[in-house]
Amino acid sequence: MAAEWERYMLNGKSILVTGGTGSFGQAFVRRILRDFPEVRRLAVFSRDESKQYEMQLRYPAHQYPGLRFLLGDVREIARVQRALEGVDIVIHAAALKQVPAAEYNPFEFIKTNVLGSQNLIDACFDCGVSVAVALSTDKAAAPANLYGATKLCADKLFVAANNMIGRRNLRFSVVRYGNVLGSRGSVVPLFLQMRNTGSVKITDPNMTRFSITLDKAVDMVLWAIANTFGGEILVPKIPSYRLLDLADAIAPNCKREFIGVRPGEKIHEEMIIPADSANTFDIGDFFAILPALAGVTTDGLRSKVNGKPVPDNFYYHSGANKYFLSVDELRGLIREHVDPDFQV
Protein backbone atom coordinates (compact mmCIF):
# COMPACT_ATOMS: atom_id res chain seq x y z
CA MET A 1 0.00 0.00 0.00
CA ALA A 2 1.02 3.58 -0.61
CA ALA A 3 2.60 5.61 2.17
CA GLU A 4 0.78 8.70 3.43
CA TRP A 5 3.48 11.03 2.14
CA GLU A 6 3.06 9.54 -1.33
CA ARG A 7 -0.70 10.08 -1.18
CA TYR A 8 -0.16 13.68 -0.11
CA MET A 9 2.24 14.37 -2.99
CA LEU A 10 -0.06 12.85 -5.63
CA ASN A 11 -3.46 13.91 -4.30
CA GLY A 12 -5.41 15.70 -7.03
CA LYS A 13 -2.41 15.74 -9.39
CA SER A 14 -2.28 15.17 -13.13
CA ILE A 15 0.56 12.84 -14.21
CA LEU A 16 1.93 12.09 -17.67
CA VAL A 17 4.30 9.23 -18.54
CA THR A 18 6.25 9.44 -21.79
CA GLY A 19 6.98 6.01 -23.18
CA GLY A 20 4.03 4.90 -21.08
CA THR A 21 3.50 1.67 -23.03
CA GLY A 22 7.02 0.36 -22.25
CA SER A 23 7.92 -2.01 -19.42
CA PHE A 24 8.39 0.72 -16.82
CA GLY A 25 5.46 2.78 -18.06
CA GLN A 26 3.05 -0.11 -17.75
CA ALA A 27 4.31 -0.97 -14.26
CA PHE A 28 3.98 2.68 -13.20
CA VAL A 29 0.44 2.93 -14.58
CA ARG A 30 -0.53 -0.30 -12.85
CA ARG A 31 0.77 1.00 -9.50
CA ILE A 32 -0.93 4.38 -9.77
CA LEU A 33 -4.29 2.87 -10.72
CA ARG A 34 -4.04 0.31 -7.93
CA ASP A 35 -2.73 2.42 -5.05
CA PHE A 36 -3.48 6.07 -5.83
CA PRO A 37 -7.17 6.61 -6.66
CA GLU A 38 -6.73 10.21 -5.54
CA VAL A 39 -4.67 11.00 -8.68
CA ARG A 40 -6.88 13.25 -10.79
CA ARG A 41 -5.56 12.27 -14.21
CA LEU A 42 -2.97 9.81 -15.57
CA ALA A 43 -1.90 10.16 -19.20
CA VAL A 44 0.03 7.59 -21.23
CA PHE A 45 2.04 9.29 -23.99
CA SER A 46 3.68 7.08 -26.59
CA ARG A 47 3.90 6.47 -30.32
CA ASP A 48 2.84 2.81 -30.11
CA GLU A 49 -0.80 2.63 -31.19
CA SER A 50 -1.00 -1.14 -30.79
CA LYS A 51 0.25 -1.20 -27.20
CA GLN A 52 -2.03 1.69 -26.28
CA TYR A 53 -4.98 -0.28 -27.63
CA GLU A 54 -3.96 -3.30 -25.55
CA MET A 55 -3.72 -1.13 -22.43
CA GLN A 56 -7.15 0.38 -23.15
CA LEU A 57 -8.63 -3.12 -23.24
CA ARG A 58 -6.97 -3.88 -19.91
CA TYR A 59 -8.11 -0.60 -18.33
CA PRO A 60 -11.56 0.23 -19.77
CA ALA A 61 -12.66 3.86 -19.58
CA HIS A 62 -15.77 3.19 -17.50
CA GLN A 63 -13.59 1.68 -14.75
CA TYR A 64 -10.67 4.14 -15.04
CA PRO A 65 -12.17 7.50 -16.06
CA GLY A 66 -8.99 9.40 -15.16
CA LEU A 67 -6.77 7.40 -17.54
CA ARG A 68 -5.91 8.98 -20.89
CA PHE A 69 -4.00 7.71 -23.93
CA LEU A 70 -2.16 10.21 -26.11
CA LEU A 71 -0.42 9.23 -29.33
CA GLY A 72 2.69 11.26 -29.99
CA ASP A 73 6.46 11.37 -30.26
CA VAL A 74 8.83 13.32 -28.01
CA ARG A 75 10.61 14.41 -31.20
CA GLU A 76 7.64 16.72 -31.99
CA ILE A 77 7.66 19.59 -29.54
CA ALA A 78 4.23 20.94 -30.54
CA ARG A 79 2.63 17.61 -29.65
CA VAL A 80 4.59 17.39 -26.39
CA GLN A 81 3.44 20.88 -25.40
CA ARG A 82 -0.18 20.03 -26.10
CA ALA A 83 0.11 16.78 -24.12
CA LEU A 84 1.55 18.63 -21.10
CA GLU A 85 -1.27 21.15 -20.77
CA GLY A 86 -2.58 20.93 -17.22
CA VAL A 87 0.00 18.32 -16.18
CA ASP A 88 1.67 18.59 -12.75
CA ILE A 89 4.14 15.68 -12.82
CA VAL A 90 6.03 14.15 -15.76
CA ILE A 91 7.86 10.81 -15.81
CA HIS A 92 10.15 10.70 -18.85
CA ALA A 93 10.56 7.04 -19.80
CA ALA A 94 10.52 7.41 -23.60
CA ALA A 95 13.77 6.32 -25.26
CA LEU A 96 15.30 4.20 -27.98
CA LYS A 97 17.34 1.55 -26.15
CA GLN A 98 18.80 -1.21 -28.32
CA VAL A 99 22.60 -0.88 -28.36
CA PRO A 100 23.24 -2.48 -31.81
CA ALA A 101 20.45 -0.41 -33.38
CA ALA A 102 22.04 2.75 -31.97
CA GLU A 103 25.36 1.96 -33.59
CA TYR A 104 23.68 1.42 -36.96
CA ASN A 105 21.19 4.32 -36.71
CA PRO A 106 22.99 6.88 -34.52
CA PHE A 107 21.09 10.04 -35.35
CA GLU A 108 17.72 8.37 -34.79
CA PHE A 109 18.79 7.75 -31.19
CA ILE A 110 20.04 11.33 -30.87
CA LYS A 111 16.70 12.68 -32.13
CA THR A 112 14.69 10.67 -29.59
CA ASN A 113 16.97 10.42 -26.54
CA VAL A 114 18.67 13.83 -26.68
CA LEU A 115 16.49 16.19 -28.73
CA GLY A 116 13.33 14.54 -27.42
CA SER A 117 14.48 15.11 -23.84
CA GLN A 118 15.15 18.78 -24.56
CA ASN A 119 11.71 19.10 -26.15
CA LEU A 120 10.18 17.75 -22.96
CA ILE A 121 12.22 20.12 -20.80
CA ASP A 122 11.15 23.12 -22.88
CA ALA A 123 7.51 22.03 -22.70
CA CYS A 124 7.75 21.68 -18.92
CA PHE A 125 8.91 25.30 -18.71
CA ASP A 126 5.97 26.47 -20.81
CA CYS A 127 3.16 24.35 -19.36
CA GLY A 128 3.41 24.81 -15.60
CA VAL A 129 4.76 21.36 -14.71
CA SER A 130 6.06 21.13 -11.13
CA VAL A 131 8.13 17.89 -11.17
CA ALA A 132 9.88 16.08 -14.03
CA VAL A 133 11.75 12.81 -13.39
CA ALA A 134 13.79 11.21 -16.18
CA LEU A 135 14.77 7.55 -16.30
CA SER A 136 18.46 6.94 -16.96
CA THR A 137 20.59 3.81 -17.32
CA ASP A 138 23.83 2.34 -16.06
CA LYS A 139 25.11 2.74 -19.64
CA ALA A 140 25.17 6.52 -19.13
CA ALA A 141 28.05 6.17 -16.63
CA ALA A 142 31.29 6.22 -18.65
CA PRO A 143 29.39 5.29 -21.83
CA ALA A 144 30.96 2.71 -24.11
CA ASN A 145 28.34 2.94 -26.86
CA LEU A 146 26.17 5.53 -28.55
CA TYR A 147 23.05 4.60 -26.63
CA GLY A 148 24.85 5.27 -23.35
CA ALA A 149 26.21 8.55 -24.72
CA THR A 150 22.74 9.76 -25.66
CA LYS A 151 21.42 8.89 -22.21
CA LEU A 152 24.33 10.72 -20.57
CA CYS A 153 23.41 13.77 -22.67
CA ALA A 154 19.79 13.45 -21.54
CA ASP A 155 20.92 13.25 -17.89
CA LYS A 156 23.01 16.39 -18.32
CA LEU A 157 20.09 18.23 -19.94
CA PHE A 158 17.76 17.37 -17.05
CA VAL A 159 20.30 18.36 -14.41
CA ALA A 160 21.19 21.64 -16.14
CA ALA A 161 17.53 22.52 -16.66
CA ASN A 162 17.37 23.40 -12.95
CA ASN A 163 19.61 26.38 -13.73
CA MET A 164 16.87 27.90 -15.89
CA ILE A 165 13.72 27.51 -13.83
CA GLY A 166 13.78 31.11 -12.59
CA ARG A 167 10.82 31.64 -10.26
CA ARG A 168 8.93 28.62 -11.48
CA ASN A 169 7.94 25.96 -8.96
CA LEU A 170 9.67 23.27 -11.00
CA ARG A 171 12.21 20.54 -10.29
CA PHE A 172 14.06 18.27 -12.71
CA SER A 173 15.77 15.11 -11.47
CA VAL A 174 17.06 11.78 -12.79
CA VAL A 175 16.69 8.17 -11.62
CA ARG A 176 19.46 5.83 -12.81
CA TYR A 177 19.28 2.05 -12.61
CA GLY A 178 20.49 -0.92 -14.64
CA ASN A 179 18.76 -3.73 -16.47
CA VAL A 180 15.36 -4.63 -15.07
CA LEU A 181 14.93 -8.28 -14.11
CA GLY A 182 12.87 -10.03 -16.78
CA SER A 183 12.24 -6.99 -18.99
CA ARG A 184 11.97 -7.41 -22.74
CA GLY A 185 15.34 -8.19 -24.32
CA SER A 186 17.06 -8.82 -20.99
CA VAL A 187 19.13 -11.84 -20.06
CA VAL A 188 16.55 -13.74 -17.96
CA PRO A 189 13.98 -14.35 -20.73
CA LEU A 190 16.90 -15.01 -23.09
CA PHE A 191 18.29 -17.76 -20.84
CA LEU A 192 14.80 -19.18 -20.34
CA GLN A 193 14.46 -19.47 -24.09
CA MET A 194 17.94 -20.89 -24.68
CA ARG A 195 17.64 -23.62 -22.07
CA ASN A 196 15.18 -25.40 -24.38
CA THR A 197 18.05 -25.88 -26.84
CA GLY A 198 20.31 -27.59 -24.29
CA SER A 199 22.94 -24.85 -24.52
CA VAL A 200 23.22 -21.44 -22.86
CA LYS A 201 25.36 -18.77 -24.54
CA ILE A 202 27.27 -16.58 -22.08
CA THR A 203 29.29 -13.59 -23.19
CA ASP A 204 31.98 -13.75 -20.49
CA PRO A 205 32.41 -15.94 -17.37
CA ASN A 206 33.31 -12.88 -15.26
CA MET A 207 30.28 -10.81 -16.25
CA THR A 208 28.04 -9.40 -13.49
CA ARG A 209 24.88 -7.34 -13.48
CA PHE A 210 22.81 -5.39 -10.98
CA SER A 211 19.34 -6.72 -10.20
CA ILE A 212 16.31 -4.46 -9.89
CA THR A 213 12.65 -5.28 -10.34
CA LEU A 214 10.04 -3.06 -11.97
CA ASP A 215 8.33 -2.62 -8.60
CA LYS A 216 11.56 -1.28 -7.07
CA ALA A 217 12.03 1.05 -10.04
CA VAL A 218 8.53 2.44 -9.52
CA ASP A 219 9.20 2.84 -5.77
CA MET A 220 12.29 4.86 -6.60
CA VAL A 221 10.47 7.20 -8.98
CA LEU A 222 7.73 7.82 -6.41
CA TRP A 223 10.43 8.66 -3.84
CA ALA A 224 12.03 11.06 -6.32
CA ILE A 225 8.73 12.86 -6.97
CA ALA A 226 8.30 13.55 -3.27
CA ASN A 227 11.87 14.18 -2.12
CA THR A 228 14.18 15.60 -4.76
CA PHE A 229 15.12 19.26 -4.70
CA GLY A 230 16.14 19.24 -8.36
CA GLY A 231 19.35 18.30 -10.13
CA GLU A 232 20.05 14.98 -8.42
CA ILE A 233 20.85 11.73 -10.17
CA LEU A 234 19.52 9.04 -7.84
CA VAL A 235 21.10 5.59 -7.88
CA PRO A 236 19.61 2.64 -5.94
CA LYS A 237 21.52 0.34 -3.62
CA ILE A 238 20.64 -3.04 -5.12
CA PRO A 239 22.18 -6.53 -5.23
CA SER A 240 24.30 -7.95 -8.05
CA TYR A 241 24.39 -11.36 -9.67
CA ARG A 242 26.91 -13.30 -11.72
CA LEU A 243 25.82 -14.48 -15.15
CA LEU A 244 27.24 -17.91 -14.36
CA ASP A 245 24.99 -18.06 -11.27
CA LEU A 246 22.01 -17.00 -13.36
CA ALA A 247 22.78 -19.78 -15.83
CA ASP A 248 22.95 -22.25 -12.91
CA ALA A 249 19.64 -20.93 -11.61
CA ILE A 250 17.82 -21.31 -14.92
CA ALA A 251 19.57 -24.11 -16.77
CA PRO A 252 21.90 -26.07 -14.45
CA ASN A 253 22.12 -29.06 -16.79
CA CYS A 254 22.71 -27.16 -20.02
CA LYS A 255 26.01 -26.77 -21.82
CA ARG A 256 27.80 -23.39 -21.39
CA GLU A 257 28.97 -21.69 -24.56
CA PHE A 258 31.16 -18.59 -24.13
CA ILE A 259 30.76 -16.24 -27.10
CA GLY A 260 32.72 -13.14 -26.03
CA VAL A 261 31.69 -9.64 -25.04
CA ARG A 262 29.58 -7.89 -27.66
CA PRO A 263 30.50 -4.45 -29.07
CA GLY A 264 29.66 -1.69 -26.59
CA GLU A 265 29.05 -4.14 -23.73
CA LYS A 266 30.77 -4.00 -20.34
CA ILE A 267 31.87 -6.81 -18.03
CA HIS A 268 30.26 -5.00 -15.07
CA GLU A 269 27.40 -2.53 -14.92
CA GLU A 270 28.60 0.88 -13.76
CA MET A 271 26.34 3.31 -11.91
CA ILE A 272 28.74 5.78 -10.30
CA ILE A 273 32.26 6.36 -11.60
CA PRO A 274 35.17 7.77 -9.56
CA ALA A 275 34.94 11.12 -11.36
CA ASP A 276 31.50 11.63 -9.78
CA SER A 277 32.57 10.67 -6.25
CA ALA A 278 33.26 14.25 -5.13
CA ASN A 279 29.58 15.11 -5.69
CA THR A 280 28.05 11.81 -4.54
CA PHE A 281 26.28 11.31 -1.20
CA ASP A 282 24.96 8.26 0.58
CA ILE A 283 21.33 9.04 1.45
CA GLY A 284 20.20 5.69 2.87
CA ASP A 285 18.49 3.50 0.29
CA PHE A 286 20.07 5.47 -2.55
CA PHE A 287 23.14 7.34 -3.63
CA ALA A 288 22.63 10.85 -4.96
CA ILE A 289 24.99 12.39 -7.50
CA LEU A 290 24.47 16.08 -6.87
CA PRO A 291 24.97 18.70 -9.57
CA ALA A 292 28.32 20.47 -9.78
CA LEU A 293 26.73 23.56 -11.27
CA ALA A 294 26.88 27.17 -10.16
CA GLY A 295 23.52 28.37 -8.93
CA VAL A 296 22.14 24.94 -8.08
CA THR A 297 22.00 24.41 -4.34
CA THR A 298 22.26 20.88 -2.97
CA ASP A 299 22.01 21.72 0.73
CA GLY A 300 18.28 20.97 0.84
CA LEU A 301 18.45 17.31 -0.10
CA ARG A 302 21.61 16.70 1.90
CA SER A 303 20.08 18.07 5.10
CA LYS A 304 16.66 16.51 4.53
CA VAL A 305 17.98 12.97 4.18
CA ASN A 306 21.15 13.37 6.27
CA GLY A 307 23.37 12.72 3.27
CA LYS A 308 26.93 11.57 3.92
CA PRO A 309 29.77 12.05 1.41
CA VAL A 310 31.09 8.86 -0.16
CA PRO A 311 34.84 8.14 0.01
CA ASP A 312 37.23 9.68 -2.50
CA ASN A 313 37.33 7.79 -5.80
CA PHE A 314 34.19 5.90 -4.87
CA TYR A 315 33.21 3.47 -7.63
CA TYR A 316 29.83 1.72 -7.66
CA HIS A 317 29.64 -1.15 -10.13
CA SER A 318 28.08 -4.61 -10.16
CA GLY A 319 31.38 -6.47 -9.82
CA ALA A 320 32.31 -4.93 -6.46
CA ASN A 321 29.05 -5.15 -4.58
CA LYS A 322 28.53 -6.17 -0.95
CA TYR A 323 25.53 -8.30 -1.80
CA PHE A 324 25.38 -10.91 -4.56
CA LEU A 325 22.23 -12.93 -5.16
CA SER A 326 22.55 -16.67 -4.68
CA VAL A 327 21.26 -19.23 -7.15
CA ASP A 328 18.23 -19.91 -4.94
CA GLU A 329 17.51 -16.19 -4.56
CA LEU A 330 17.65 -15.77 -8.33
CA ARG A 331 15.18 -18.62 -8.78
CA GLY A 332 12.84 -16.99 -6.26
CA LEU A 333 12.98 -13.64 -8.08
CA ILE A 334 12.28 -15.32 -11.42
CA ARG A 335 9.18 -17.01 -9.97
CA GLU A 336 8.00 -13.79 -8.33
CA HIS A 337 8.66 -11.32 -11.14
CA VAL A 338 9.06 -13.21 -14.42
CA ASP A 339 7.37 -16.62 -14.53
CA PRO A 340 5.30 -17.92 -11.59
CA ASP A 341 5.44 -21.43 -13.08
CA PHE A 342 9.22 -21.46 -13.44
CA GLN A 343 10.80 -24.79 -12.55
CA VAL A 344 14.41 -25.92 -12.83
For residue 31, which phi and psi values (nearest 5 degrees)? Answer: -65, -45
Among candidate residues 139, 151, 201, 237, the one labeled active-site is 139
Please tell me the distance from the alpha carbon of residue 39 to that of residue 7, in angstroms, as a whole number: 9
Please tell me the distance from the alpha carbon of residue 299 to that of residue 284, in angstroms, as a whole number: 16
- Helix, strand, or coil (residue 242): strand
Q: Pick from 334, 209, 208, 180: which is nearest to 344 by CA?
A: 334
Please tell me the distance from the alpha carbon of residue 4 to that of residue 15, in angstroms, as a whole number: 18
Confirm whether 139 is a catalytic residue. Answer: yes
Cα distances from 188 to residues 29, 91, 241, 245, in angstroms, run 23, 26, 12, 12
**DSSP per position, 183-239:** -TTSHHHHHHHHGGGTEEEES-TT-EEE-B-HHHHHHHHHHHHHH--SS-EEEE---
Range list of β-strands (E), 72-189: 89-92, 131-137, 171-177
Please tell me the distance from the alpha carbon of residue 119 to that of residue 95, in angstroms, as a whole number: 13
Q: Which residues are catalytic?
A: 139
